[in-house]
Structure 1
Amino acid sequence: MNHKSLNITATLLFTATAMTHAWAEDPYNYKKPRESQNWTTISLKTKTANGPDLPLVLLIGDSITVRYAAEVGTALKDKAYVSVLGSSKAADDPALLDEIKLVLRQNAYSVIHFNFGLHGSAGDLRTGLPVVIATLKRHAPNAKLIWATTTPCQKKDDAPDTDVIEKNRVAAEPIAEAGIVVDDLYTLVAKHPTKLWDGGGVHYTAEGTAIQSKQVAQAITPLLPVAPAAK
């Protein structure tokens, strides 16, 4: 084997070793249990061909978010274009970070309204939420962030949803440390004079969804960039 062949072989070995090392630094935890109905939905909205130049808003969350997203888009119709990333993954699932980064690479968002709570445990949230926050700040450094508290599930005899209460307690510390605005959807639902759940006790009636979408739009509006005055 001549020196040229030796150099090529050494280069290939170095490249393969470096790639293997890079992959080893970011492994997927395929053994982490996921729910049997593991899903992701993405709907990205941007300026249309002849549409106004409005800021972009991203909603991130679970099926609760997906259900109120369309109504939020309608409420902000003349103020922003609203996109949604919905996922059943827990906050500490590394694949969730890939989904977030995939969406953030498409557009520069002015406001990101996000929540992770119904899926996974309080421990998952404790581990994963600081990483999610860091990911949002790194890949969307100019976006204003809003954390939505997790909505409660309906319990027998209208008992408090202690699981969600604990998740919201766990989330409060990293959210406060990061100086992120809070949209308290939990209190909106839990303290509402009428029961807003549908028959399943997790999702909401049309009225419940409308009430949530109205508050989400109200939380987002003051954080939207002010349009320059017309000359």
Structure 2
Amino acid sequence: MNVVSFQRYKALMKKQIIPFTLIITMLLLITGCNQAASSGGPGDVSSEQIEKEIKPTDEVVISVDVKPEKNDWSNIWIENTNQSEKPRLLLVGDSITDGYYSRVKKRLEGQYYLARYTTSKFVGNPDFQTELTTILNRYEFKIIHVNNGLHGWDYSIDEYQKGLEDLRRIFSNYAPNAKIIWCMTTPVRNEENLDMLGKLNQDVIQRNQTALEIMGENGVLINNLYQEMLGHPEYYQADGYHFNQDGRTAQAELVSSFILKSD
């Protein structure tokens, strides 16, 4: 009896986000069943009854099917948290944003307190949304620049679109006064010949088009870093994804200039 109850409980917790009250109810049911089983007699409860009692209700929210990559990482860095003289600027992204962050900081730290949230998490990943929401709940940003599109290739374009729609709602709810800038995902090149674009670049183009439709048509500013990097294979590292020092410097200048013009 105890094993059946616990396995059912674990399965529910793994696949679904369950309200706190439902969890308590489940635990009480399991405890009651164990007591009944130990006492015997008419109070016994069958496994079929347990399964029926802890069946999810309409309140249960089904979570996104998370498709993990080999490594899962996040970097959160908020500068000058005990000061308030300047407006705050948040850079959201992946390793590409990590690459130019320090250079953007040097250019803009006179005007803003900078912060970054960089991660391997796909925009539709509920953990990405939770981490971002936590930051936005704590700090108020004047400008948020987002460049996150080179992870989560196991997700479909429909899931990417859903992630962007969720992200737009998060900004609307948690950063209603911030100016949002969406940065187009940079090209992916053929690692054997950096002068050529890689096969995955077709997916980048599709994602950028989807982002343009969702973000651009809802008043979000578009920083077309894709187009700016398209003619510069010399900026790339050998993997065809990441950028060398010259590429990072060029991106930092472009991102910084776009932010200043948009303010």
> Under a length normalisation based on structure 1, what TM-score does the superposition of the two structures give?
0.81
Contact 2:89–2:142 under 8 Å retained in 1: yes
CA separation of 1:53 and 1:153: change in aligned 2, threshold 3 A: same
Contact 1:28–1:95 under 8 Å retained in 2: no
Partner of 2:33: none
Q: Distance in 2 between matches of 1:223 and 1:45?
A: 22
AA partner of residue 166 (structure 1): Q
CA separation of 1:19 and 1:94: change in aligned 2, threshold 3 A: farther
Contact 1:183–1:219 under 8 Å retained in 2: yes
Identity %: 28
Partner of 2:127: 95
CA separation of 1:22 and 1:58: change in aligned 2, threshold 3 A: farther
Partner of 1:137: 172
Q: Distance in 2 between matches of 1:99 and 1:26?
A: 19
Larger radius of gyration: 2
Q: Does 1:66 align with 2:98?
A: yes
Q: CA deviation at 1:59?
A: 0.4
Q: CA deviation at 1:28?
A: 3.8
Q: Distance in 2 between matches of 1:83 and 1:23?
A: 39
Contact 1:47–1:53 under 8 Å retained in 2: no
Q: Distance in 1 between matches of 2:82 and 2:231?
A: 40
Q: Does 1:53 align with 2:93?
A: no
154, 159, 169: which one aligns with 2:189: 154
AA partner of residue 117 (structure 2): L
Partner of 2:21: 16
Higher RCO, 1 or 2 (CA under 8 Å, sep at least 6)? 1
225, 230, 235: which one aligns with 1:196: 235
Cα RMSD of the aligned pairs, angstroms, is 2.4
Q: CA deviation at 1:180?
A: 0.7
1:165-196 Cα shifts (integer Å, max 9, x gaps)? 1111121100122111111110111023x521
Contact 2:147–2:183 under 8 Å retained in 1: yes
Contact 1:116–1:125 under 8 Å retained in 2: no
32, 36, 39: which one aligns with 2:66: 32
Partner of 2:118: 86
Contact 2:185–2:225 under 8 Å retained in 1: yes
Unaligned runs of 5+ in 2: 1-19, 26-55
Q: What is the DSSP-based 3-state SS (H/G/I as helix, E as strand, rest coil) of the residue aligned with 2:185?
A: coil
